[in-house]
Amino acid sequence: MPLFDYAPAPESRSIVSLAPSYGLFIDGEFTEAKGTFKTINPADEEVLAEVALAAPEDVDRAVAAARRAFESWSALPGSERAKYLFRIARILQERAREFAVLESLDNGKPIKESRDVDLPLVAAHFFYYAGWADKLKYAGLGPDPRPLGVAGQVIPWNFPLLMLAWKIAPALATGNTVVLKPAETTPLSALFFADVCRQADLPPGVVNIVTGAGDTGRYLVEHPDVNKVAFTGSTEVGRQIARSVAGTGKKLTLELGGKAANIVFDDAPIDQAVEGIVNGIFFNQGHVCCAGSRLLVQESIASPLLEALKRRMSTLRVGDPLDKNTDIGAINSKAQLDRITELAGVGSDEGAERWSPPCELPDRGFWFAPTIFTGVTQAHRIAREEIFGPVLSVLTFRTPAEAVEKANNTPYGLSAGIWSDKGSRILAVADQLRAGVVWANTFNKFDPTSPFGGYKESGYGREGGRHGLEAYLA
Amino acid sequence: MPKSSTSSRLAVRKTYKLYVAGKFPRSESGRTYLVDGDNVALASRKDARDAVVAARAAQPKWAGATAYNRGQVLYRIAEMLEARRGEFKALGVAGSEVDAAVDRWVWYAGWSDKIAQIAGGANPVAGPFFNISAPEPTGVVGVIAPETLLGLVSVIAPAVVTGNTVVVVASNPQAAITLAEVLATSDVPGGVVNVLTGRAAEIAPWLASHDDVNALDLSGVGDSELATELERAAAGTLKRVVRPVSGVDYSEDPGTGAMTALLEIKTVWHPKGF
Amino acid sequence: MTATATSRLSHLADSPADLRTFLHGLPGVDKVGIEARAAALGTRSVKTTSKAQAIDLAIRMVDLTTLEGADTPGKVRALSAKALRPDPADPTCPPVAAVCVYPAMVPTAAAVLAGSGVHLASVATAFPSGQAPLEVKLADTRDAVAGGADEIDMVISRGAFLAGDYAKVFDEIVAVKEAAGPAHLKVILETGELATYDNVRRASWLAMLAGADFIKTSTGKVGVNATPPVTLLMLEAVRDFRERYGRQVGVKPAGGIRTTKDAIKYLVMINETCGDDWLSPDWFRFGASSLLNDLLMQRTKLTTGHYAGPDYFTLD
């Protein structure tokens, strides 16, 4: 029995009022579909609501609505579009607590993250792009950049509302209209966002939300009347989408998987490096495409660093996502839990040494203890494949050149981390890493002004910043 | 074209071979095809493979050269091209087009140390962080080049000025190889530009599906079905694809798009604190 | 401390150059990172039973302090009485850890505290500036101990530290430790004047190497006193020091900690940095004065179920 334990401190869920069922948001109205599916709380497997399953004809309706809306929306002065986005940003700020609780319920992420990371970034993203709407000619993309038309956007389940913001804010600022499909397991925050659009008096059809699974998404991106496709998700699906839009002339941006190296040199600020490692892989249960899932530690400090890491991991609190003291919440779905479990099993089978701190996992729901594998080499599957869970593979290196070589030895190229107190080494290593985002002496930092996106098989195009506009303008 | 001699002296003809890794090899296949009376090398998939190896080997050093140095090399290309204008005219290229091609090299030479300032910059993030975005070359680019000399220069120059290396499939062999001779005498490191002559339909699919090619420029692909097929193949490793646009006028201001299409934006964060 | 560790330590002290090399070889501290970590620990939500537990622990960790030019025997007697019975209305309320006063006030406090188990701490060594000859500092220390202090809160020479004269700081601590005899030695680093986290880490290790029983953040007399990140860093230092040399050292943040909410943040920080071994008045203290009343008010709120008012708590 510890001397000082934290009593349960659950955030009240009463701030969210869930309807038993939700329709599709098309042309400013919630409309029904023939099929439905259930969305559950991954922390206890309780059904949260029933959600419409969009069929092809529903997607057709949504695209048609977006097409109709495009004419007037794109003709609106940028300054007016800006005001709608500012309004949306404000409403999101005012409803932040509600959305945070909702996101934690549907996704399983800890409330402290949905409250302190997701929601502030969501509002900030709308604020940022709102300001661009009437300044596009200054973006360095030509004197009169034009919107593309209807954007078909498919987003993942790891940051449901934040990914929605990353997609919708720049699309609307640039004068496009959108049909967005949230992930099958996390549709609710997008549907609540539809309500925000109505509150903001956004013209009907400018934002349409179609819920469903892979088929709905596929139909949307392949829709002939869609001009722009934006996808965030797995590299495998990204590949399929790239194939399917080949020859259509649709503009495509993809933000896909990763297997980021987090490189710790022997002169690193050690306590901050340990925090960075923990934040890199255990933030959002490791359901992060840019997660620092490969720890590359200089062999000369491997042993004390790992000891410190294990000590730190022992303080991680796994459990109820709504508890304000929870550090690691629920795995988003049974399917994802199975995948993590399988790959962790492979890690053990391939001879890597597995360690987790003692932690009690709840009986119901989907859970996975924070785990590290030591003795991993580049030849292990857990060093190459994206696990998308709270599982860290630890490798060692001897020299900076070896660290860079190992870091780059992957088909992915989304992000990387560097920990060192030596400025010139940081800059040289950052130069050589083939990754779209390099965090030096920090990790998993995001900002609407900062472009995000990958090299190689981590996708193409950037989201955020001035660069993020490019994806939505011709 | 057959080169007739005006004097009694018998002319020494040029043999048009490939340009790979800074050398002028024959096709490993031993094949040639007749173009305007010349036997030019007919590149095979293995030549494409070798060219990618050469391009990959040259890429880090080329990208690691200073932008100033790359600009100097590109300007040197312009000088050498200017000096060889007669050769291109002899191949039937209009003098004005050679002039435009020279000027295009000069234009891109000047971009080498400016594009990063246009395409990158500091980002004012909401926190105590230094945050900067800078463009980097995508890597090895497969280029299916347009037929004209100006078109050819207009696709090679923007790719290499930023530090990419290229494997070019050229459909105007004599002009392309003559340009390769210009490059070979212009301080362009071997492997930075590799030129294959032959049939795009035969070679391009190997570049499109090659796991070690990072981007594909389809500017010179006229057949839309082939373009679609190549784009689809490129999806296998998520290559960046520059799609063909019909009716490009290469004499117009090319803008920065041809460069930025082959650049990756890297954003680096670092905390700021005493 | 093991014999080997001791000999390694004395070796370091022999040579100013070795001492410098050692201190400069400690891992760096990233300001943004440590401040983010401290802030994150500050978001822990401590409620109900945990809060009650935390408040009592915090009360037991208070070094109830008065260090004013205007201190009088009357004031010090009153404060000492309050230390023994912080909440006269509630006998279940624990006493604080210690009373902390200037050397001149030590005999007055000692008379009240004698035999109570509440410790008597005295600042010494020309507190707060430390700008006095060593002999004066040692006399100051001896006087305080002779008057009944069993804890000495000394200040380091920040000037010497900032000038890079680590050996001088080291030697002074050793000398004061010797002068303090059986009294526990708390070494005040005055982190607000050290300015950087790297300096705080070095000063922490320097003080521990020289024999400090506690390392303390501040005098309370400069612009920047105890902060959560500085305290976090010092907790990391004592944790790492024990791991390396086997000797446990305590931590005392002082100055500016006024609310229960703040105090609980510090307890969370101990809990998640050093763990149970430091969750005791033997190893962690709050140097504070107004904090105690806020702890008492929150304590009363938890026991009565309604909010408390300042008029219901003694002002000494």
- Does any domain span residue A243? yes
Q: Which of A460, A462, A469 to mutate to test the interface with B (most CBs of B within 10 A)?
A: A460
Distance separating alpha carbons of residues A218 and A56, to the nearest angstrom = 10
Q: Quick one: A251 and A265 in the same domain? A: no
pLDDT of residue A221 exceeding 70: yes
Name the β-bridge partners of B136: B264
* Proportion of chain A above pLDDT 70, given as a percent: 100
Kindly determine whether residue C50 and residue A267, on different chains, have CB atoms separated by under 8 Å: no
Please tell me if residue A457 touches chain B, with a CB cutoff of 8 Å. Answer: yes
Q: Quick one: A118 and A146 in the same domain? A: yes
Q: Quick one: A425 and A464 in the same domain? A: no
- Does any domain span residue A55? yes
Please tell me if residue B129 touches chain C, with a CB cutoff of 8 Å. Answer: yes
pLDDT of residue C158 exceeding 50: yes
Which helix (H) or strand (E) is A394 found in, with range?
A: strand A391-397
CATH of the domain at A176: 3.40.605.10
> Residue C161 has which token pair?
């530290």
Q: What integer pLDDT is reported at residue C8 of this predicted model?
A: 60
Q: Give the torsion sign (CA, B50, B56, B61, B64).
A: positive
Beta-carbon contacts of B89 under 8 Å, excluding residues fewer than 6 positions away, are: B95, B98
Quote the domain boundaries for residue A238.
13-256+456-470
Distance separating alpha carbons of residues A86 and A78, to the nearest angstrom = 12
Confidence of residue C14 (pLDDT cuts 50, 70, 90): confident
| 3 state SS of A165 | helix
Confidence of residue C4 (pLDDT cuts 50, 70, 90): low
* A positions 34-93 inside 8 Å of C (CB): none
Q: Quick one: A242 and A303 in the same domain? A: no
Q: Quick one: A321 and A430 in the same domain? A: yes
Q: Quick one: A232 and A313 in the same domain? A: no
Q: What integer pLDDT is reported at residue A111 of this predicted model?
A: 98
CB A60 within 8 A of CB A207: no
CB C264 within 8 A of CB C54: yes
A271 contact residues in C (CB cutoff 8 A): 27, 29, 33-34, 37, 233, 236
Average pLDDT over residues A124-137: 98
Q: What integer pLDDT is reported at residue C12 of this predicted model?
A: 77
Kindly determine whether residue A447 and residue B127, on different chains, have CB atoms separated by under 8 Å: yes
Kindly determine whether residue A2 and residue C43, on different chains, have CB atoms separated by under 8 Å: no
Q: What integer pLDDT is reported at residue C1 of this predicted model?
A: 46
Give the angle A97-A102-A103 at the CA atoms, nearest 5°. 100
List, edge to edge, every strand of the sheet that includes B129-137.
A353-355, A371-374, A391-397, A294-298, A261-264, A415-419, A437-440, B263-271, B129-137, B121-122
Pairing type for strands A391-397 and A294-298 reads: parallel
Contact partners of C by the rule of 3+ C-beta pairs under 8 A? A, B
pLDDT of residue C226 exceeding 90: yes
Distance separating alpha carbons of residues A413 and A432, to the nearest angstrom = 12
Average pLDDT over residues C68-80: 96
Kindly determine whether residue A438 and residue B269, on different chains, have CB atoms separated by under 8 Å: yes
Distance separating alpha carbons of residues B197 and B15, to the nearest angstrom = 13
Q: What integer pLDDT is reported at residue A337 of this predicted model?
A: 98
Phi, psi at residue A425, to the nearest 5°?
-65, -40
A452 contact residues in B (CB cutoff 8 A): 267
Q: Which amino acid is at B66?
A: T
- CA nearest to A323 within chain C: C45
A242 contact residues in B (CB cutoff 8 A): 231-232, 234-235, 238
Q: Quick one: A236 and A374 in the same domain? A: no
Distance separating alpha carbons of residues A328 and A43, to the nearest angstrom = 11
> What would the pLDDT profile of A154-198 be if each residue is shown by its tens digit?
999 999 999 999 999 999 999 999 999 999 999 999 999 999 999
Average pLDDT over residues A327-334: 98
Q: Quick one: A103 and A250 in the same domain? A: yes
> What would the pLDDT profile of C187-207 be if each residue is shown by its tens digit?
999 999 999 999 999 999 999
Q: How many CB atoms lie within 10 A of CB C2?
A: 10
Q: How many CB atoms lie within 10 A of CB A382?
A: 24
Average pLDDT over residues B113-130: 98
Scanning the structure block, which residue is given the tokens 């399929």? Answer: A240
Q: How many CB atoms lie within 10 A of CB A7?
A: 15
Residue A457 appears among annotated catalytic residues: no
| Total count of domains within chain A | 2
Please tell me if residue A112 touches chain C, with a CB cutoff of 8 Å. Answer: yes
Q: Which amino acid is at B111?
A: W
Distance separating alpha carbons of residues B271 and B274, to the nearest angstrom = 10
Domains and CATH numbers, chain C: 3-303 (3.20.20.70)
Q: How many CB atoms lie within 10 A of CB C149?
A: 30
Kindly determine whether residue C29 and residue A275, on different chains, have CB atoms separated by under 8 Å: no
Q: Quick one: A211 and A328 in the same domain? A: no
Domain boundaries of chain B, sorted by first residue: 32-271
> What would the pLDDT profile of C255-296 be if each residue is shown by its tens digit?
999 999 999 999 999 999 999 999 999 999 999 999 999 999
> What would the pLDDT profile of A351-372 be if each residue is shown by its tens digit?
999 999 999 999 999 999 999 9
- CA nearest to C234 within chain A: A271
Distance separating alpha carbons of residues B184 and B17, to the nearest angstrom = 13
* Proportion of chain C above pLDDT 70, given as a percent: 97
| 3 state SS of C123 | strand
Confidence of residue B5 (pLDDT cuts 50, 70, 90): low
Range in A43-57, B162-176, C302-316 with the lowest mean pLDDT: C302-316
A267 contact residues in C (CB cutoff 8 A): 27-28
Beta-carbon contacts of C195 under 8 Å, excluding residues fewer than 6 positions away, are: B274
> What would the pLDDT profile of A222-245 be if each residue is shown by its tens digit?
999 999 999 999 999 999 999 999
The answer to whether the bond into A304 is cis (omega within 30° of 0) is no
Q: Quick one: A303 and A245 in the same domain? A: no
Q: Which of C29, C30, C32, C233 to mutate to test the interface with B (most CBs of B within 10 A)?
A: C32
Distance separating alpha carbons of residues B137 and B159, to the nearest angstrom = 8
CATH of the domain at A400: 3.40.309.10
pLDDT of residue A1 exceeding 70: no
Residue C153 appears among annotated catalytic residues: yes
Q: What integer pLDDT is reported at residue C10 of this predicted model?
A: 62
| 3 state SS of B234 | helix
Q: What integer pLDDT is reported at residue B3 of this predicted model?
A: 54
Q: Which of C26, C41, C45 to mutate to test the interface with A (most CBs of A within 10 A)?
A: C45
- Gap between the terminal Cα atoms of chain C: 41
Q: What is chain A's Cα-based Rg? A: 22
Average pLDDT over residues A53-80: 98
A100, with CB counted inside 10 A (0-12, 13-18, 19+), is buried
Q: How many CB atoms lie within 10 A of CB B140?
A: 28
Average pLDDT over residues C105-118: 97
> What would the pLDDT profile of A361-410 be if each residue is shown by its tens digit?
999 999 999 999 999 999 999 999 999 999 999 999 999 999 999 999 99
Shortest distance between the Cα of C203 and any Cα of chain B, in A, equals 17
Q: For the structural domain made of B32-271, what CATH number should be given?
A: 3.40.605.10
pLDDT of residue C141 exceeding 90: yes
Q: Give the torsion sign (CA, A15, A17, A18, A23).
A: negative
- CA nearest to B264 within chain A: A455
* C positions 211-250 inside 8 Å of A (CB): 233, 236
> Residue A415 has which token pair?
């992000």
Q: Quick one: A182 and A311 in the same domain? A: no
Residue C30 appears among annotated catalytic residues: no
As for the ipTM of the complex, it is 0.97
Q: Quick one: A267 and A304 in the same domain? A: yes
CB A113 within 8 A of CB A162: no
